[in-house]
């Protein structure tokens, strides 16, 4: 599923920044060891400590600072996402499609289907207690801008996002997906994330590509820093009409070929496997 409104899209900026990586395939690098991995892991550990200590916006900024890519700094994300949450054009799927890139489709094998079913089974068991959203909040899953009307509310646990930058744990998704109800929130699914440079072979090792398609956000143009409040969000941002660097330069904006990492949503209580991994 893709987010359909400004607040939801703004949420993604923070929810996925923690799992961007640094423009390399961290999972692949981990397999080979090395000083770079140690440094990245130390950075993630430091960030997690800061997030735990500070909480809220400060913790979110700390998580972004350690895991954000060269494409956009954590300060830029922090300043831009608030402008977008209030001013982004809410044109929805059709406009956003120009800024989406997907993992390649491939035929599903029996092994793919079996592995995907095991992931869903593991996730369903892990999420059972979070049907009560207050338990999720107590465990560190924080809703992003619940004051804004959204189709789906993402409750994100920053420690899980950081862990996902290095390894895949089907029982620990980066975010929980809730729908608002008259008495609170109803849990409907979860979101896994992977670093922005992760290869499709590595994505397939996490969640089989024969069953699910990961997606990422690409070819984005943002207004000049500090000018988001008065920007024309029909041109800029996730629903914007600008999709090339040349057009972005002409508009005086800042172009980002890819803004953060891979993501995939899963709905473990769906009645079919196809519905469980729907976009």
Cα end-to-end span (Å), the chain:
4
Angstrom distance (rounded) from CA 64 to CA 156: 13
Distance CA 43, CA 62 (A): 10
Structure tokens belonging to residue 64:
């972004």
Q: Which three-class secondary structure state does DSSP give residue 101?
A: strand
Q: Low-confidence residues of the chain, pLDDT below 50?
A: 1-71, 74, 78-79, 81-92
Cα dihedral 108, 112, 117, 119 sign: negative
Kindly give, in sequence order, each residue whose CB lies less than 8 Å from that of residue 127, ignoring residues fewer than 6 positions away: 176, 187, 190, 268
Q: Which two tokens stand for residue 96?
A: 């956003």
**CA dist., res. 185 & res. 72, Å (int):** 32
- DSSP character at residue 241: S
Specify the pLDDT at position 228.
84
Q: What is the pLDDT of residues 25-42, one digit of tens each?
A: 333 333 333 333 334 444
| Residue that the structure tokens 């590595």 belong to | 202
Give per-residue pLDDT as tens, 200-254.
Answer: 999 999 999 999 999 998 899 999 988 888 899 899 988 899 999 999 999 999 9
**Are the C-beta atoms of residues 46 and 52 closer than 8 Å to each other?**
no
Interacting residues of 169 by C-beta distance below 8 A, sequence separation 6+: 160, 163
Round to whole Å and give the CA distance between 136 and 156. Answer: 9
> Other C-beta atoms within 10 Å of 156: how many?
27
Confirm if 130 and 157 have CB atoms less than 8 A apart. no
């Amino acid at each position: 599923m893709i987010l359909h409104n400004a607040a939801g899209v703004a949420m993604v900026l923070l929810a996925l920044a923690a799992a961007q990586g640094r423009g390399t395939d961290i999972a692949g690098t981990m397999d080979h060891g090395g000083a770079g991995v140690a440094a990245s892991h130390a950075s993630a550990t430091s960030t997690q400590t800061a997030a735990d200590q500070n909480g809220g916006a400060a913790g979110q900024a700390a998580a972004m600072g350690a895991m954000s890519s060269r494409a956009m700094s954590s300060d830029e994300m922090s300043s831009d996402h608030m402008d977008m949450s209030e001013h982004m054009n809410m044109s929805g799927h059709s406009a956003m499609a120009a800024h989406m890139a997907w993992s390649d489709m491939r035929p599903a094998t029996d092994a793919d289907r079996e592995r995907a079913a095991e992931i869903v089974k593991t996730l369903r068991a892990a999420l059972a207690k979070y049907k009560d959203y207050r338990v999720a909040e107590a465990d560190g899953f924080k809703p992003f801008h619940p004051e804004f009307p959204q189709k789906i509310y993402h409750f994100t646990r920053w420690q899980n996002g950081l862990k996902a930058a290095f390894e895949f744990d089907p029982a620990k998704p980066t975010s929980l997906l809730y729908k608002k109800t008259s008495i609170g929130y109803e849990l409907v699914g979860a979101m896994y994330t992977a670093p922005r440079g992760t290869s499709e072979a590595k994505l397939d090792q996490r969640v089989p590509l024969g069953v699910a398609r990961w997606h990422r956000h690409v070819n984005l143009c943002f207004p000049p820093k500090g000018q988001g409040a008065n920007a024309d969000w029909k041109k800029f941002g996730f629903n914007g009409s600008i999709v090339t660097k040349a057009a972005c330069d002409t508009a005086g904006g800042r172009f980002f070929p890819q803004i953060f990492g891979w993501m995939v949503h899963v709905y473990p209580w769906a009645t079919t496997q196809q519905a469980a991994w729907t976009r």
